[in-house]
Amino acid sequence: MPDYAKITVDGQTHEFPIVQGTDGNRSIDISGLKEKTGCWSYDQGFANTASCRSSITYLDGDQGILRYRGYPIEEIADKSTFVETAYLLINGQLPTKPQLSEYSRLFTKHANLHEGMKSFFLGYPSTGHPMAMLSAMVCALSAYYPELVKPNPTQEEIKITAIELLAKIRTIAACTYKKTIGEPFMYARADLEYVNNFLHMMFSTPTQEYSPDPAVVSALKTLLILHADHEQNCSTSTVRMVGSSWSNLFASVSAGICALWGPLHGGANQKVLEMLEQIHADGGNTDKYIEKAKDPANPFRLMGFGHRVYKNYDPRAKFIKKKADDLLNALGIHDPLLEIAVKLEEKVLKDSYFQERKLYPNVDFYSGIIYKAIGIPTDMFTVMFAIGRLPGWIAHWIELKENKDKIGRPRQIYTGEMVRHYVPIDQRK
């Protein structure tokens, strides 16, 4: 097979090298396309474009395969912890025992926020969306750690910034919740590991310590791990794009949080639960909503279905569905929304509209049922996604630096007026 592709423009043929990943996938390297052919490439939504070289996450959407640094997601979700998964994604290797205990110790050491940051929360309206607070507060960390925001930090500075961020994001998340319910902020405890500490800051009060059911800790840990990375999705590409201008890690991640918020991306988990609640309030008539989603004249979509890359069952959704079942059983909760979700999925999988378009449940479809059972309010679901996704964002930001990637700067197909001349306001019609 030739290791180049030929592109003919205006009768002239030009060769472009084909590069191959370790997964065997081939890409045409079109660097120099404009120079050689006089044309740019056009790929709306980057659906056919590899934007970088990456060794972090392997994803095969047709087969439903997801691996972090080569390790199958099923093994990691089953056997690892969130802190260990973060170490793996960021450092490329599973940690040794001493490395892991040092990593965990640093997370606890850096968990609490600078006292000055508390005043920010006071200024937000209690109805403010937690994602707005999260992205702003993550960016605000840049102001509190100016020594960590150099354009070209050392490896040690990057390591500390990553730990500050990983440790503090759950504290910020918990503070946004406390702010909205009007309770005092809780400090992290030195004796608790990552997930338990988050639950403590969320649900303990000065007079009552929250003691979670082990099934809650296990379900939350699994969700965070399953969200930890997903190669070049919208928010990760945003982090890489912002980082490519040498913006600091806090600012780059803050931009990623904003990208995640959208309902077509991480914001879908909130929308799924709202949709299930709406179907429930409407008498549980799933057929009605399936028909609405299939109607081309109706913009309504079944939230939690479909994926740009997975054209098969999202392996994370399978795992989460089982976890949701286990958690509700362990807590003795009967949630009619789970029944609606299962019924909806069964019908969708048999429906030719969804089959033809290869639309399967995605990671967001069942996650809201777990968050709800834990007691996390609906508008915080995407915040939970952001906590989970943080190790991936950090790993990609570091990789971008290591690969010395160029600043992101796509071209466009211009569709506007070519040239017009200014008309004074009193002469305009």
Phi-psi category of residue 358: left, alpha or beta, with phi > 0 → left and psi -120 to 50 → alpha? left
Q: Which of 364, 368, 369, 400 binds ligand ACO (CB under 6 A)?
A: 364
Q: Counting beta carbons within 10 angstroms of the beta carbon of residue 325, is it exposed (0 to 12), middle (13 to 18) or buried (19 or more)?
A: middle
- Give me the least distance between CB of 204 and ligand ACO, in Å please: 30
- 10 Å Cβ neighbour count for 40? 13
Q: Which stretch binds ligand ACO (CB under 6 A): 27-35, 206-214, 251-259, 361-369?
A: 361-369
43 binds ligand ACO (CB under 6 A): no
Instruction: Select from 23-31, 215-223, 336-344, 358-366 the region that touches ligand ACO (CB under 6 A).
Output: 358-366
Is 317 one of the binding residues for ligand ACO (CB under 6 A)? Answer: no
Cross-strand partners of 20: 26
Of the listed pieces 18-26, 71-79, 93-101, 303-311, which binds ligand ACO according to CB under 6 A?
Answer: 303-311
Helical H segments across 21-147, by residue range: 33-37, 73-79, 82-91, 97-109, 118-123, 130-144
Residues 215-274 close enough to bind ligand ACO by CB under 6 A: 264-266, 268
- Would you call 188 helix, strand, or coil by DSSP? coil
Q: Which of 304, 315, 368, 392 contacts ligand ACO by CB under 6 A?
A: 304
Residue 59 Cβ vs ligand ACO, minimum distance, rounded to whole Å: 12
Q: State which residue, 44 or 119, has the beta carbon closest to ligand ACO.
A: 44
For ligand ACO, give the closer residue by CB, 106 or 302.
302
Work out which of 158, 293, 340, 400 binds ligand ACO, going by CB under 6 A. 293
Integer angstrom CA distances of residue 215 from 189, 218, 327:
21, 5, 6
Q: Which is nearer to ligand ACO, 77 or 117 (CB)?
A: 77
- Rounded to 5°, the CA angle 162-200-209 comes to 155
**Element (DSSP H or E) covering residue 59:** strand 57-60
* Interaction of residue 316 with ligand ACO, rule CB under 6 A: no
Yes or no: say if 272 and 413 are a contact pair by the CB < 8 Å rule: no
Region from 63-71, 96-104, 297-305, 338-346 binding ligand ACO, contact rule CB under 6 A: 297-305
Report if residue 301 touches ligand ACO, rule: CB under 6 A: yes
The H or E element containing residue 200 is helix 194-203
User: Could you tell me the two tokens for 249?
Assistant: 């890690």
Q: Among this protein's residues, is 364 annotated catalytic?
A: yes
d(C-alpha 396, C-alpha 237), whole Å:
9
Selecting among 129, 265, 307, 396, the annotated active-site residue is: 307
Does residue 362 bind ligand ACO (CB under 6 A)? yes
**What is the Cα–Cα distance from 153 to 233, expressed in whole angstroms?**
25
Question: Sheet containing 65-68: which strands, arranged edge to edge?
Answer: 57-60, 65-68, 71-72
CB-nearer residue toward ligand ACO: 164 or 229: 229
Active site residue 307: yes
- Which of the ranges 68-76, 93-101, 245-253, 357-365 carries the binding residues for ligand ACO, by CB under 6 A? 357-365
Catalytic annotation, residues: 307, 364
Query: Contact positions toward ligand ACO, by CB under 6 A?
Result: 264-266, 268, 293, 301-308, 357, 359, 362-364
